[in-house]
Structure 1
């Protein structure tokens, strides 16, 4: 009887640090562009990581992929902006600054 081995995710320290860095940069940029006061380092990382998931989903819908550091940041940034916009619509707290 053969036993099948499945690898769901290849998680290593370098990959985790890479995604934390991408999340931090994308979250910080998105909070600046969306005219937020920022969410702190941990908040920006969370917004950037969730944004990376949203951005990756949106990019895959149009048949593109993200490879490379800068394209991953752009995709995560777009997703983070979408996430912030959705959160503001749901919470009804769209702060406007002039």
Structure 2
């Protein structure tokens, strides 16, 4: 994912963060900036986890990077909801 550059990280991270927030039903609590942050941090988390499993994440390309960001963002939002006690129920 390092080969994408900062613009690629922002675009893929934003889209992945937004979709992850829809999957985890946290979209109403997040704005565009938080979606980008969640997607980029999710990409780092997903890349780290896949690297530990022996997957070559550096040569994956755009689609692989997107799905890595998406999976990492979903995991990140799940962990945040777990720690915060899922305050989205009103």
TM-score band w.r.t. shorter chain:
0.7 to 0.9
Normalised by the size of structure 2, how large is the TM-score? 0.84
Please name the residue that 1:7 is paired with: none
**Which stretches in structure 2 are left out of the alignment for 5+ residues?**
none
Aligned residue pair count: 86
Higher relative contact order (CA 8 A, sep 6+): 2
What RMSD, in angstroms, separates the aligned Cα atoms of the two structures? 2.2
Return the structure number with greater helix share: 2
Normalised by the size of structure 1, how large is the TM-score? 0.78
In structure 2, distance between residues paired with 1:37 and 1:89: 16
Q: Deviations over 1:33-54 (max 9, x none)?
A: 1122251110100000100010
Larger Rg: 1
